[in-house]
Amino acid sequence: MWYLCVFYHRLLDYRKAEVESLAELFGENGDHKGGKLEWKLPLHHHPDSPFHFVDLSSDDIARSIANRSILVKGMYELWGVGSDYEELQESIRNFPEERKSPYLQQGSTFKISVESFGKAISFQEQNERIQGLAYIPFKGQVNLRNPDHKFSLMEAADYGLNNGLPPVAQRTIFFGREVGGADRKLIPTYQLKSRTYLGPTAMDAEMAFLMANQALATPGKLVYDPFVGTGSILVGAAHFGAMTMGADIDIRVVRDGRGPDCNVWSNFKQYGLPPPISLLRADNNLPPWRPGLKEIFDAIICDPPYGVRAGGRKSGGRKLLKGTVAPYTVPDDKRTDHIPSTAAYSLVECVHDLLNLAAKMLVMGGRLVFFYPVLREEDCVFNQFPEHPCFTLISSSEQILSSRYSRVLLTMVKHSSYTEEMAEAAKLKHEEFRENHLKWLEDGNLHSAVFSPTIDPQLAVAGNCNATKDPKPKYRGKYV
């Protein structure tokens, strides 16, 4: 059954991936293997339009997706569509009567809302549009607070690129019954500015919920973050009922925080969420797991340090790693407050360790969800994503942060057990990946590549040295 899926105009590349993950979570099956749904775009609409048609098997699944999604504004059973109100009326009249009548019965309550995309509609115009729907034989009573059935009249104006929105070549009017809608109160409730314990790299609440949805976080599942920091990502997973566990190389973050009432644990207490079952001081480069332990996590969600806002660290120190000093043993009387020395941890090594960790510790079918940086330059090979023979990449959603730099949310599913043969194959892929990315990942040039301006040579000759290359169109939603 086709439903009209209306998105919030935010994080445009993330929208379909989230819906497809939630469809798998709620048991969408049939022809939609692996959660890949069939989508259609309304006539004359740009691919970045907030209006899309999606094929789902039932109202229950459509409702469940809409109610949990962060980016879906609502799912609608479409009763009619047209380029003007006469065409819309004809379309509604042709909608099967047996599908309309259950929601028009006497004794029920209803509400009609009017929304627009691309232009503002005054309150008076909204009332006029609602009165123009008098040909629909509603027999129930109007209830604006808690109606039994909700209906929406949605109008997309015809406009070009001049108002900062993806273009619509022809005016389109939709009318449909709301099957399910999102609760956007979730975002202001968890916003970072009201968070008890916050670090400089804390994950935005909206993005943390998106990552939890991509990881299929639900009650009974165990979710792990190997770069937990102040716990922002695990807060999102815990909200959806998952058990959580985290680790970080900085013991001051996971143990001390800023005091007994301002630490990772207090973030969970603030929202009434179950605390993590454990927080470890651990180095992802030297994992603490006992030999033979495997397949215990249902999902691994993280934001690896890739050297833009913060650089990665691993145990050892420069002199120890170079072999100029021997390994040392910490005296017993200094173990309580001892902070081990660390050295730089390149992204290529960090990602390789992360993929190996996930290959060993994820259950079959478990998901690895993590951010990966991308330099947006035509002549740069940095856009190749890391691979592992145990995983299948099912989605990559880009968030553009500047004209030169973006980050991509990668979602991988484990499809093969971790064996010695898999480890050898992964090592070969890692070496190939390292060679291709040596300039950006090993030499530590990512920060300077992101923040140093790239000047168009033609503009430089013309004397405009402040102009930088930005090949993609700018309209609202792409950059947020």
Lowest-confidence segment of 85-99, 333-347, 372-386 by average pLDDT: 372-386
Report pLDDT for 253.
87
What does the chain come to in residues?
480
Q: Are residues 271 and 129 part of one domain?
A: no
73 Cβ contact partners less than 8 Å away, ≥ 6 residues apart: 6, 7, 8, 50, 181, 182
The helix/strand/coil state of 134 is coil
User: Are the C-beta atoms of 54 and 89 separated by less than 8 Å?
Assistant: no
Q: What is the pLDDT of residues 390-426, one digit of tens each?
A: 999 999 998 888 777 788 999 999 999 998 899 899 8
Q: Is residue 113 part of a domain?
A: yes
- pLDDT tier, 371 (very low <50, low <70, confident <90, very high otherwise): very high
pLDDT average, residue stretch 56-64: 95
β-bridge mates for residue 74, sequence order:
6, 181
Task: Give the domain CATH number at 36.
Answer: 3.30.2130.30
Q: Are residues 246 and 278 part of one domain?
A: yes
Give the total number of structural domains in the chain. 2
Write down the residue that tokens 């691994």 correspond to: 300
Q: Is residue 336 part of a domain?
A: no
Task: Look at residue 61 and tell me whether its pLDDT is greater than 70.
Answer: yes
Tokens representing 21 are 């993950």
Task: Look at residue 328 and tell me whether its pLDDT is greater than 80.
Answer: no
Q: Is residue 470 part of a domain?
A: no
Task: Give the domain CATH number at 230.
Answer: 3.40.50.150
Q: Is residue 455 part of a domain?
A: no
Q: Which of 183, 213, 229 is at the close of a domain?
A: 183
Q: Are residues 63 and 37 part of one domain?
A: yes
Q: Is residue 462 part of a domain?
A: no
pLDDT average, residue stretch 74-98: 95
Q: Is residue 472 part of a domain?
A: no
- pLDDT tier, 475 (very low <50, low <70, confident <90, very high otherwise): very low
pLDDT average, residue stretch 39-59: 91
- pLDDT tier, 279 (very low <50, low <70, confident <90, very high otherwise): very high
Q: What is the pLDDT of residues 248-265, one digit of tens each?
A: 998 888 888 888 889 999
Q: Are residues 231 and 171 part of one domain?
A: no
Average pLDDT, the chain: 85
Task: Look at residue 207 and tell me whether its pLDDT is greater than 50.
Answer: yes
Q: Are residues 163 and 98 part of one domain?
A: yes
Q: Is residue 476 part of a domain?
A: no
Give all strands (DSSP E) within 340-427, no chain letters: 342-345, 362-375, 391-400, 405-414
- pLDDT tier, 309 (very low <50, low <70, confident <90, very high otherwise): confident
Report pLDDT for 342.
82
- pLDDT tier, 150 (very low <50, low <70, confident <90, very high otherwise): very high
β-bridge mates for residue 468, sequence order:
455
The helix/strand/coil state of 372 is strand
Report pLDDT for 132.
94
Q: Are residues 381 and 423 part of one domain?
A: yes
Report pLDDT for 459.
43
The phi and psi torsions of 271 (rounded to 5 degrees) equal: -105, 5
User: Are the C-beta atoms of 269 and 197 separated by less than 8 Å?
Assistant: no
Q: What is the pLDDT of residues 422-456, one digit of tens each?
A: 989 988 888 887 776 665 555 545 666 666 554 44
Q: Is residue 458 part of a domain?
A: no
Tell me what percent of the residues of the chain surpass a pLDDT of 90: 56
Task: Look at residue 372 and tell me whether its pLDDT is greater than 60.
Answer: yes
Q: Which of 142, 159, 183 is at the close of a domain?
A: 183
pLDDT average, residue stretch 124-148: 94
The helix/strand/coil state of 362 is strand
Cα separation, 468 vs 205, whole angstroms: 31
Q: Are residues 249 and 315 part of one domain?
A: yes
Report pLDDT for 322.
66
CA distances from 128 to 133, 350, 455 (A): 9, 59, 53
Task: Look at residue 462 and tell me whether its pLDDT is greater than 70.
Answer: no
Range from 117-121, 137-141, 468-472 that averages highest in pLDDT: 137-141
DSSP output for 25-93: HTT--TT-GGG---EE--TTB-TT-SEEEEE-S-HHHHHHHHHH-SSEEEEEEEEEEESSHHHHHHHHH
Cα separation, 296 vs 283, whole angstroms: 18
Q: Are residues 178 and 265 part of one domain?
A: no
Task: Look at residue 122 and tell me whether its pLDDT is greater than 60.
Answer: yes
Q: What is the pLDDT of residues 177-191, one digit of tens each?
A: 999 998 878 899 999
Report pLDDT for 441.
55
The most distant pair of C-alpha atoms in the chain lies apart, rounded to whole Å, by: 86
Within 10 Å of residue 40's Cβ, how many Cβ atoms? Answer: 10
pLDDT average, residue stretch 240-247: 97
CA-based nearest residue to 65, from 28, 30, 39, 99: 28
Q: Are residues 264 and 168 part of one domain?
A: no
DSSP secondary structure code for residue 332 in this structure: G
Q: Which of 135, 152, 183 is at the close of a domain?
A: 183
Please list, residue by residue across 276-315, b when 16 or more beta carbons sit within 10 angstroms of its beta carbon and e when fewer do.
beebbbbbbbebeeeeeeeeebbbbbbbbbbbbeebbbbb
pLDDT average, residue stretch 205-210: 95
Cα separation, 229 vs 247, whole angstroms: 8
Report pLDDT for 377.
63
Q: Are residues 204 and 152 part of one domain?
A: no
Report pLDDT for 480.
47
This prediction's pTM:
0.87
Q: Are residues 431 and 386 part of one domain?
A: yes
Cβ-based burial of 252 (10 A; exposed 0-12, middle 13-18, buried ≥19) = exposed
User: Are the C-beta atoms of 157 and 125 separated by less than 8 Å?
Assistant: no
Cα separation, 415 vs 70, whole angstroms: 27
Tokens representing 276 are 């993590």
Query: Residue 441 sits in which domain range?
Result: 188-327+342-447
pLDDT average, residue stretch 139-152: 94
Q: Are residues 157 and 71 part of one domain?
A: yes
